[in-house]
Structures are given as C-alpha cells and as structure tokens.
Chain A
Amino acid sequence: MSHLLAPLCLLPPSLDTAWSGVAPPDKSHAIPRHNDTAIRLQLPLVWFDPPWHRLALGTADALACAVAGLGITVSALHRDVAAAGQQSRFFDGGAARVEQDQHISRAPRMLPYRPERYGLSVEDFDECQIIDVRLGVSRDRSGGFVFSQVQIQRWEATADGAPLAGGGTVPAATFPPDVMSLDQLGSKILQLRKLAPAAAIFVSVGPFRVADEIRRLLASRTKDKRSLPDGLVVRLDQAALTPLQLAEQTQSIRASVDAVGETELPLCIVPGEVTADDAAKLVALGADSVAVDSWCDELVDELCYPSDSMAAAFGYPQHGVVISSDEQSDRLAGWVRDALSPQIERFTGLCLSLSPDPRDCLGTFDALWAKALGVKMLGAGSMKVTI
C-alpha cells in the first residue's frame, strides 16, 4: 500500500536542538469525560466497522480478541461474534486483557449504537469503553443504504426457511427514530451515560455536512455538559477524497471543533485505506485517534474465501476459516500479532516523535500542499520564499 500522505513530512528536530532522551513510551490514549474522569486506552487506534458477518462466529470472536489484545479498540456487538445466549471470549474478557496496568484492564471495545439497533442486546452496554452513536445512513458493499441479508441474519437470526425481507436487503436508517432532531440528541446521550456509566459517548457523522453538524452537536455550550458527546468520529471514508483533501478535512474538522471551544474533545478520523505513516500524520494534523480498518479488514480477507474464488464458486463454506478451540484462537492471535505489530510499532514510534506540539512537526516539499495546509515549505525551495 502506498503512503497517501507522502507529500507531508514528519520533521525531525532542527540541527541546533539540544540532545534530549526520548520520553518513556507512554502510548496510552486518554479520553477525558464530562465528569473529569478519563478513559485510558492502550493505543489511539480503532477498528471502526469490522465486517463480522463475513466470518464464522467463532472466528470473529477470536479475531476480535486478538486485535483488541494488541490495544486496538474493536467495534462489535455481542451478536457480531457470538449467537444469542452463547458466550464470547471477547465480551467475557477471556483472552483480551491487554495490559496488567489496572487502568487499562479490559479489552478495548466500542459499542456501535446504530440508528436501527438491529442486533443490539442490553448486555452490549456492559464494560464497553466507548459507545459510538452512529448518525447517518450506512452504505453496504453494493453501495446501497442497506444491510445485506447475511449481515441482518447475523444480527437477527431467523429460521432458514423464513429469512427477513424474503432474503433481500433491509434498508438502513438515517437517524435514531426515537430522537426528534440533531438538536435534541443530548437526551439520548444522557440516556446512554446512564446505561453505561463508565463508557465515553462518541458521536459519529459523515463528511458531507460535517461543519454544520459539528456546530449543531457542540455549539450549544449552555447545555448540560453531560448531554454533549465525549468524542467525535468523522467518517471521511464515506467520500472518495484525494490525499490532500483527506489532510485538509482532518485539519479543518479539528479547527471547527476547536472553534466551538471544545479544544480537548477527542476527534477520531476514519480515513479509509492508510498506512502507519499516514495514520501518524493524521494525528499530527489534529486527529486524536485513527481508524485502521484497512489493516484489520485485510485479516478478514485472509480468513475468508474471496467471493470470486473457485472455493466460493464450488460452494465451500462461505465463512472460510472456522476457529472453534482455544488452541486455534491462540494460534490466530499469534498470526494477528505478526501481521499487525509492524504497523502498530511504526505508528507508535512516529507518534512518539511528534512532541511537543504535533502540528509543528509537519512540513512539505510541495507548494500546493504547503499552501493548502499552511505547513512549512521545506528544502531549498523554501529559500526562494524567504530571500
């Protein structure tokens, strides 16, 4: 995968900087909450929208455990990884206690609170670190605003002979049906705080009307602080942005959030396909955390037979690899560690170099990027400007 944000450089210190040791690697990511408490996550990385329905239940559960075990916050409903009434290692914390540190003791889990709430069970609220109120309608792989039959069957299993919607797709919702308008979302946030007192409440929006939506979500500072979200997720992956647009949007969204006085509000960017270098640069541009679905979805692809493969054509099990024992789960965890660790280490290392102010660490050799992002123009070309 090529680096989308290659024209942007993460700058080393200037030559006259005094020699200083690198600070101890505190990689954890703190999410401040309304009541002056904070939720600490091991890494500012999220697997935002995993395609769990493509995997067998046991495999999905083992993969969620393995990815969360590396410190990436994983979004899942219980029904995504286990049948109703069945146990899940991911939800029961069996394998995914990520660190011995008592402040970071649970598998980092995000509860996707979609407008339709298909598949949601009340136990999903227990011990999740983040509830993400997903506003806006979702497209499936076909491009429609629908859930596929395989997806809906995962959430709302029906008898084989009586599939929902006659085996077709099910329309996705645009907005929570029990909220009157965006301006009244605060009441829903208060409800979720009560259902999951220890969780941070995030709200995710698409990129298309993001400035207006941020203003409406956050601008009312006279509101009860508890009715405002603890964080914001922007799904830039919903639009086909150029790399420069991705960088510009990340920067502008951070500026919009800062402009309404919420300078400490965590901003999570869902950028689509990115490398570890890109993810670190998004942090430098103002994101507090980054969705790395492209890293983790590759693992799902490996575990499934591709839909155009001969195996699929001959009717072999659609879900591909089936994990059904602890021993297999442990081996899968090792495979996941081998696959993701290099990217996580690269991202972590680059982020450690972004101090003291990440925004001062950016520069570019490209005049267009320098002008668009207001970052330093680098190299000999910069001399022409100053002479």
Chain B
Amino acid sequence: MSAPETAAEEAAEFYLSMADLTEQEIRETIAEIPAAAADATWPQVHVSGANGQHAAFMRMDYNVTLHVEGDLGDYAFAYNTKVDARLSGSAGHGVGEGMRSGSIRVRQNAGCGAGAAMVGGTLAVYGSAGPRCGAAMRGGGIFVRGDVGDETGVGAIGGMIVIGGDAGRNLGDAMNNVNVFIRGRATSLAPGVTEAPLRKREQLRLGLLLINASIRGDSSEFRRVVPIAMLEAEESRRGEVNPNWR
C-alpha cells in the first residue's frame, strides 16, 4: 500500500493491487483506515489488478469509496453495507446480491441477476444488464443505462428499477410493490403488470434519482410499469375512478 496522501481538507487516498495482495489483505488494510469525520469526504481506496475474480469485495461494511480498476466476476460486492463501490469494467452474475446500503457503480456491463435480493442502496450499471436484473429485490434502487434481459424484476417485492434502454421478455413477473421506469420498449410485460401514467411527483423523483446515478436523460422520457394490484391500490387511495370502464 502506498503512503496515504492525507491533507486536512482532502480525503485520504490509498492504492492497493489485487495482483500483490490477497483479498483478505486488502480487506484488512481497508479495515484499518481511520473513519472520516462525519462531514468529511470518505477515504478513497483505489484497487488495481481486477481481472474477473469471483465473489470479490463481499460483505464490506466500511465508510470508504472503493475504486476497482478492471473487471470482476460473479457476486462482486454482494451483501455490502455503506461502501461506495465503483468498478471501471464489467461485473459477472449477481453483482450487488443482497446489498443493504451504499452504492455500486458498474461502468460497463453486468451479468444475470444484478442486484438480486438486494435490500437497500443503489446499483447503477452504465452498460447493459443480463436477465433477471433486480430479481427478488426487497428494497433500494437499480439503474441500468442500457438494456436489461428477460424477466427483469421477477419476484421483486420492494424498490425501484430504472431502465434506460429496452427490456426483454416478461418484464415484472411476480412483482409486488415495485416501480419500474423504462425509456425504451419491453419485448413483453408479464401478466399482472401494466404501464401506468408517470405522474408529476414521480417525474420529479425520477429526475433526482437520474442525477444521483449520473444517468443522462429527462425523466419525462420514461414510462412507468407497475403491478396492476399496486396501481389499483394507489387509485383507490386517491379515490380515483378508472375512466376506461366503458
């Protein structure tokens, strides 16, 4: 590890290599980094040498920003808490599985089951994601700038999925209490989900989320896909009558 270049007003920076250190050694090094003051920028940890390692940087619970240079394999950053992780390349299957908080930004593509069973936090994929993105997610938000594969959101019971491109077949199958925002087209929607109007409040919220995830675009370009039961419950709470009854 190179010496930290700490300045009073700047975040400490650390440089580590997966080629020189085992992942355990990297974790131990990160664990020893003193916590930043509550209002200070988090320490910046730069990790090089990523070349497809599986199950890397899982279950991390540190207030650090982790910059990983290269590609990672399956289940990268699974079950993480707090960490702000940024991957310059692609991730394999199950990136961010079960993550609880913090954020993950994947600059390129993600495999199948991105964000599966995640509970909180934000997963942003700047390329495309494979099938079953956001499957069984229970909270948090997933943003994919490009396309997503088949069965996106299958079994999800909470949270939000934003798709900048197109979606494959069966979007939203067995989905509950989840909002999907899509800019492109879905090959097919699953039974039980429908397109719904994007209301002003949702437009504003989505716009803010797009800014947070550094995804370009206007929220008004997106359409909303939700479970029919959820839409009916919303309408009933608002006391609305469906004008399409005749």
Query: Which residues of A are in contact with B by a Cβ distance under 8 Å?
Result: 115-118, 120, 122, 125, 152, 156, 158, 162, 164-166, 170-171, 173, 176-180, 184, 187-188, 190-191, 194-195
Contacts and interface: CB of A to CB of B under 8 A. Distances in A.
Given A165-B176, A170-B155, 11 more contacts: A116-B155, A122-B81, A122-B98, A156-B138, A156-B158, A173-B155, A178-B75, A178-B116, A187-B75, A187-B92, A188-B74
B132 A178 contact: yes
B16 interface: no
A190 B23 CA distance: 15
A187 B73 contact: yes
B93 A178 contact: yes
B42 interface: no
A187 B74 contact: yes
14 contacts: A116-B155, A117-B98, A118-B117, A122-B79, A122-B100, A156-B138, A164-B176, A166-B229, A177-B151, A177-B154, A178-B113, A194-B58, A195-B58, A195-B78
Contact of B59 (A170, A173, A195): A195
B136 A170 contact: no
A117 B58 contact: no
Nearest to A175: B132
A122 B138 CA distance: 14
B233 interface: yes
B215 interface: no
Contacts of A162: 177
Contact of A191 (B74, B154, B174): B74
Given A165-B176, A173-B155, A191-B78, A178 B135 contact: yes
Contact of A156 (B79, B114, B154, B157): B157
Interface residues of B, number: 36
A180 B112 contact: yes
The B interface is mostly helix, strand or loop, or mixed, namely loop
B67 to A, nearest CB: 22
A33 B81 CA distance: 30
Interface in B99-126: 100, 111-114, 116-117
Contact of A171 (B59, B93, B112, B174): B174
Contacts of A178: 74-75, 93-94, 97, 112-114, 116, 132, 135
A34 to B, nearest CB: 15
A122 B93 CA distance: 19
A377 B93 CA distance: 54
A194 B58 CA distance: 9
B46 interface: no
Contacts of A191: 54-55, 58, 74-75, 78, 94
Nearest to B138: A156
A156 B117 CA distance: 12
A177 B132 contact: yes
Closest 4 A/B residue pairs (Cβ): A178-B113, A178-B94, A177-B135, A117-B117
B55 A116 contact: no
Nearest to B119: A121
Given A187-B54, A191-B58, A118 B157 contact: yes
A171 B75 CA distance: 24
Nearest to B233: A166
Nearest to B80: A122
B157 A180 contact: no
Given A179-B93, A191-B58, A170 B174 contact: yes
Contacts of A116: 117, 136, 155
Interface string B74-100: 110011010000000000111001101
A269 B111 CA distance: 34
Interface string B128-161: 0000100110100000000000010011011000
A194 B59 CA distance: 10
B192 to A, nearest CB: 10
A115 to B, nearest CB: 8
A165 B233 CA distance: 11
Contacts of B151: 177
A190 B62 CA distance: 23
A147 to B, nearest CB: 10
Contacts of B59: 122, 125, 195
A194 B55 contact: yes
Given A165-B176, A177-B112, A177-B132, A120 B157 contact: no
A264 to B, nearest CB: 26
Nearest to A115: B136
B106 to A, nearest CB: 14
Interface string B46-77: 00000000110011000000000000011100
A122 B154 CA distance: 22
Interface in B176-210: 176-177
Contacts of B154: 173, 177
A171 B58 contact: no
A130 B27 CA distance: 25
A121 to B, nearest CB: 8
A126 B177 CA distance: 30
